[in-house]
């Protein structure tokens, strides 16, 4: 009877059915290993577990649509269709192909964070906080639901390696225009940290470091109830994502 068994083909399990893609295996095969590099801008998107690939495509389509309205037709990416049930091999090949095209001007590219329910959309030539505010404000005004898989969109102003030296340099650069401008008036802020899959960064030290960067030479104060600005710091594996947005 063993001779009648069909050998599983590429992208199939032992029953001859297509095997589902494990999104977290994709990022490891992209150039450079972990695909999120320092000084990237983009949007962090959360979704239901197991729906990372679908959420990535959905987010890229939505961001591309609104970027075209905000910045012009050059931001209308021709998003490639991906089969929700595609094999691991096909998904890897498609993502590597997309990564290579990025150098030629792909504006939005989904990258695996290696973490359940979280993906990163790398964006070129936009200010993430402005685009996200534009998208969410319009959807709220229209009262419509445009996403099936995406849950939250969080603008990522810049990324760095998750060590305090790199974090210190990046945060000083990102926060300076908002807190250390000429004739700067005092304002209020709070820091919200979240650490996933990293045991090297201490939450309290991270909060103190960011608060210290904000307050250097200024009279800014922490307001946990109703701050003017919110600094969201997400550590995912070896990468720190710093989000900065008016509350």
At residue 102, does pLDDT exceed 60? no
pLDDT category at 104 given cuts 50, 70, 90 is very low
Q: What is the pLDDT of residue 58?
A: 95
Write out the two tokens for 244. Answer: 């900065």
Domain boundaries in the chain? 20-156, 158-246
156 touches 45 (CB < 8 A): no
At residue 135, does pLDDT exceed 90? yes
At 218-242, the pLDDT tens digits run 789 999 999 999 999 999 887 777 7
At 168-219, the pLDDT tens digits run 999 999 999 889 988 888 999 999 999 988 888 999 999 999 999 998 777 8
Q: What is the pLDDT of residue 83?
A: 55
Q: What is the pLDDT of residue 54?
A: 94
Nearest to 44 by CA among 195, 246, 241, 247: 241
Q: Which fold has domain 158-246?
A: THUMP fold (3.30.2300)
Nearest to 193 by CA among 156, 241, 228, 154: 241
pLDDT category at 43 given cuts 50, 70, 90 is very high
Nearest to 157 by CA among 139, 146, 172: 172
């Amino acid at each position: 009877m063993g001779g009648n068994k069909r050998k599983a083909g590429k992208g199939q399990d032992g029953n001859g059915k297509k095997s589902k893609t494990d999104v977290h295996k994709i990022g490891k095969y992209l150039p450079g290993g972990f695909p999120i590099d320092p000084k990237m801008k983009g949007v962090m998107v959360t979704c239901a577990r197991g729906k990372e690939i679908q959420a990535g495509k959905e987010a890229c389509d939505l961001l591309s649509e609104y970027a075209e309205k905000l910045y012009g037709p050059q931001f209308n990416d021709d998003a490639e269709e991906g089969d929700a049930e595609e094999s691991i091999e096909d998904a890897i090949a498609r993502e590597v192909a997309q990564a290579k095209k990025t150098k030629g001007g792909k504006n939005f590219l989904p990258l695996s964070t290696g973490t359940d329910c979280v993906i990163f959309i790398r964006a070129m030539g936009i200010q993430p906080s402005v685009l996200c505010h534009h998208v969410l404000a319009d959807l709220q005004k229209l009262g419509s639901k445009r996403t099936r898989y995406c849950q939250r969109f969080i603008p990522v102003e810049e990324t760095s390696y998750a060590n305090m030296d790199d974090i210190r340099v990046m945060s000083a650069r990102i926060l300076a225009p908002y807190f250390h401008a000429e004739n700067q008036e005092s304002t209020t802020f709070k820091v919200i940290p979240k650490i996933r899959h990293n045991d090297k960064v201490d939450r309290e030290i991270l909060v103190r470091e960011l608060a210290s960067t904000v307050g250097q030479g200024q009279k800014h104060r922490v307001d946990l109830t109703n701050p003017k600005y919110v600094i969201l710091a997400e550590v995912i594996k070896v990468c720190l994502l710093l989000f900065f947005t008016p509350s």
